[in-house]
Structures are given as structure tokens and as C-alpha cells.
């Protein structure tokens, strides 16, 4: 009776979660978005170096076997839709990532909200994110199961800071001087991190960011961190005023990352070369290597409009509104109860 008990114990939290799902849809319908579906089973998975897709075998009626993957995000499919002329679209549904914790702030099967706006940039998406949370806060105020302290913080006007300003604020370091792998490596060595020369810029960056900055972010009010070093944004457009940084942002609340957004890269060649780099990195680090999705590159080549998009973790959003510390408690039957 473990399943029944889990659902009974968390019934109020689950009701709140489902109410939030409904409000998310209402918000985007109000904004004239179309809810779209993308295939959950794909032939080519995402290329991100440290995300492990779940492999599955499918058979047709003649029992011919095909290898596929559960999607790790709907990003490639949604961008193909943008290239085909869809404009403001959102996907609200499951994504799958292998080798993640069963519980805590992860579940290998989780719910993702991804939305794209055509002809807009990442500042418009920042506004969407803030407006969405404000809308939900307003509609859930006074409901059972809503955390009053978190709600009060969400309702405030959010802070926006550049990544560079955070490094200055917390570490008195000018990030401009540490934008190469060599420089970041030296900085990590100086700070006594146990690093190796083989590590990518991003890995070195996160050593410091995760240990010395992240937990202090978004404590009194949600924080949008924007303008990431260009090396850390393989699907994003570079800043016009300073090409060392990219138009990417993340939302942090109580030290937890909630969402990741970009002004989308629309240049097919540039995209292909960045995906090739990621593929090489997978190869070098002994990970499974996947083909580059040529259909995705082809769609960009055919003409993907200027656009911006974001991926938002809905389970974590529910945790935040309910003040719940454990992701399992806002999921009907999490992995930890199934296996």
C-alpha cells in the first residue's frame, strides 16, 4: 500500500500542484500562446555533454527493431516548429533524464514547461517568467498548501543581475579577466580546488559558482542572473555589445535554479559547430556519442526566425509555492516509490 500512502500523505500538495498546472496554462492562453505537443520518443537525443538520455528499443509490426530515446527536452522539436512558422508556443509535459537522483530536487521523469516567442529576445522572456509567477501568486494567495513566506517573496519585484556583477559582489573578482579555460583553471588552483587541466571552462566555472555563489542567490526575492560567458551557452545568441557574453539567463530562488533561458541562436553553421564541439567533448570524456540532429540544423538553415525561449522545471516550481523541500512530495508517484 506504499503507493496509496504516498498519494494520501501528499494529497494537499498534489492538489496545489495540479492547480498550478492549470494556472500556468491559463496564463499562456491569456498571452495568446498555442500549447503544442512534441514526440516523447526521438531518434536523436540532445547533445548536452552531461545529460544522459534513456535509451529504448521499439519494434514495428514486422518486429524490425529501432533504437530511440526518450526526449531530454522538447527543444529541437520546438525549434523545428518555429522554423516551420509556428509563433508563440509552449510545451508542458514530461521529460526524461537518466542517472539523476531519485528524490531531493530531482526525479528522472520530471515535468518541464518550455516556451518560445518569435521576434523577441531574452528580456521579453524574463518579463514572461516574472509575470507568470506573479499571476500564479495572485491566484493562489490564501489557498491551503501555499507557503506564505515564499509567496510574499515571489510577489515582490524580482531582482536582475548580470553574472559578472555576482562575481564582483560575492568574490570581488572581475569575470572579464577569467573568460578563458586557462585563466579559470588558474583561479581554481589558487582557490585550492582539486581540478585537472582537462576540465572544460564550464566545469571550472561551476566549481566556484556552485560552492561560493549559488546558495546565496534569490534569498529575499527571486533573482534573474543574466549574461553568461559565451562558452556556457551553446544554444544562445551572443550579446551585441560584448560578444564575450551570451544572452542567457537563469532564475534562482532560495539558492535553487528554476529556469534556464536564451535568445536563441539561429545561425545554422554556428549551431552545427557548437554541437560538434559538444559531441567531441562527449567522445573525449568517454560518454555515449550521438549523431548531430541534421534535421534540426536543416530547419535552422531553412530559416529559424529570431526568437527566445526558456525551460522551467514545474516540479521545482510546485516545491517553491508549497514550501516543500522534497520533490517526491509534489509528484504523484516518484521514482523512489516505484523502484
Partner 1 sequence: MASTSDLKKGAVIKHQNDLYVVKGMEFVNPGKGSAFARTKMKSITSGKTVEVTYKSGENIDIVEVSRQKVQYLYKSGAMYSFMNQETYEMFDLSEEDLGDDAKYLKEGIDVDAIIYNGSVVAIELPRKIQYKVIEAPPAVKGDTASGKVMKEVTLENGLKIRAPMFIKENDTLLVNTTNGEYCERVNE
Instruction: Supply the Cα-derived Rg of the chain in whole angstroms.
Output: 20
Interaction pattern, residues 99-138, with partner 1; x per rule: CB under 8 A: xxx--xxx--------------------------------
Q: Which residue has the cell 536543416?
A: 298
Minimum Å gap between C-beta 254 and partner 1 is 13
Binding partner 1 by CB under 8 A: which of 2, 57, 67, 157?
2
Minimum Å gap between C-beta 295 and partner 1 is 21
Question: Any long-range contacts for 284-288 (C-beta under 8 Å, 24+ apart)?
Answer: 285/49, 287/49, 287/52, 288/52
294 touches partner 1 by CB under 8 A: no
Minimum Å gap between C-beta 64 and partner 1 is 33
Please state the separation of Cα 96 from the chain's center in Å.
Answer: 13
Q: List Cβ neighbours of 148 (8 Å cut-off, separation of 6 or more).
A: none
DSSP secondary structure string, 216-257?
GTTSSS-EEEEEEEGGG-TTBPBPSS-TTEEEEEEEEETTEE
Minimum Å gap between C-beta 135 and partner 1 is 26
49 touches partner 1 by CB under 8 A: yes
87 touches partner 1 by CB under 8 A: no
Q: List Cβ neighbours of 44 (8 Å cut-off, separation of 6 or more).
A: 69, 76, 290, 291, 292, 293, 295, 296
Minimum Å gap between C-beta 183 and partner 1 is 18
d(CA 128, CA 308): 11
Q: Considering beta carbons, is residue 130 or 203 the nearer one to partner 1?
A: 203
200 touches partner 1 by CB under 8 A: yes
Residues 234-253 that bind partner 1 (CB under 8 A): 250
The DSSP output letter for 56 is E
Positions touching partner 1 (CB under 8 A) are 1-2, 5, 8-9, 11-12, 15, 46, 48-51, 97, 99-101, 104-106, 192, 194-195, 199-200, 202-203, 206-207, 209-211, 214-215, 228, 232, 250, 257, 260, 326
Amino acid at each position: 500500500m506504499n503507493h496509496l500512502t504516498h498519494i494520501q500523505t501528499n494529497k494537499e500538495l498534489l492538489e496545489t500542484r495540479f492547480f498550478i498546472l492549470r494556472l500556468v496554462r491559463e496564463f499562456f492562453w491569456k498571452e495568446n500562446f498555442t500549447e503544442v505537443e512534441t514526440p516523447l520518443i526521438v531518434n536523436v537525443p540532445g547533445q548536452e555533454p552531461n545529460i544522459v538520455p534513456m535509451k529504448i528499443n521499439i519494434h514495428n509490426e514486422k518486429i524490425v527493431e529501432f533504437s530511440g530515446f526518450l526526449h531530454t527536452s522538447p527543444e529541437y522539436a520546438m525549434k523545428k516548429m518555429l522554423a516551420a512558422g509556428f509563433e508563440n508556443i509552449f510545451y508542458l509535459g514530461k521529460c526524461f533524464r537518466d542517472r539523476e537522483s531519485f528524490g531531493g530536487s530531482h526525479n528522472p521523469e520530471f515535468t518541464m514547461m518550455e516556451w518560445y516567442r518569435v521576434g523577441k529576445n531574452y528580456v521579453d522572456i524574463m518579463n514572461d517568467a516574472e509575470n507568470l509567477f506573479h499571476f500564479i501568486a495572485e491566484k493562489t494567495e490564501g489557498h491551503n498548501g501555499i507557503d506564505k513566506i515564499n509567496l510574499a517573496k515571489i510577489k515582490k519585484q524580482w531582482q536582475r543581475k548580470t553574472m559578472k556583477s555576482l562575481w564582483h559582489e560575492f568574490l570581488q573578482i572581475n569575470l572579464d579577466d577569467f573568460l578563458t579555460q586557462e585563466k579559470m583553471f588558474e583561479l581554481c588552483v589558487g582557490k585550492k580546488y582539486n581540478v585537472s587541466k582537462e576540465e572544460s571552462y564550464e566545469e571550472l566555472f561551476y566549481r566556484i559558482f556552485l560552492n561560493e555563489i549559488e546558495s546565496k542567490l534569490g534569498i529575499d526575492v527571486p533573482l534573474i542572473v543574466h549574461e553568461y560567458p559565451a562558452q556556457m551557452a551553446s544554444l544562445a545568441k551572443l550579446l551585441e555589445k560584448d560578444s564575450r557574453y551570451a544572452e542567457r539567463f537563469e532564475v534562482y530562488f532560495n539558492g535553487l535554479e528554476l529556469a534556464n533561458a536564451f535568445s536563441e541562436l539561429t545561425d545554422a553553421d554556428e549551431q552545427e559547430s557548437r554541437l560538434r564541439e559538444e559531441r567531441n567533448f562527449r567522445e573525449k570524456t568517454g560518454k555515449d556519442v550521438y549523431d548531430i540532429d541534421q534535421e534540426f540544423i536543416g530547419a535552422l538553415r531553412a530559416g529559424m526566425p529570431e526568437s527566445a525561449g526558456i525551460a522551467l522545471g514545474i516540479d521545482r516550481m510546485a516545491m517553491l509555492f508549497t514550501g516543500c523541500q522534497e520533490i517526491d512530495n509534489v509528484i504523484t508517484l516518484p521514482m523512489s516509490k516505484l523502484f
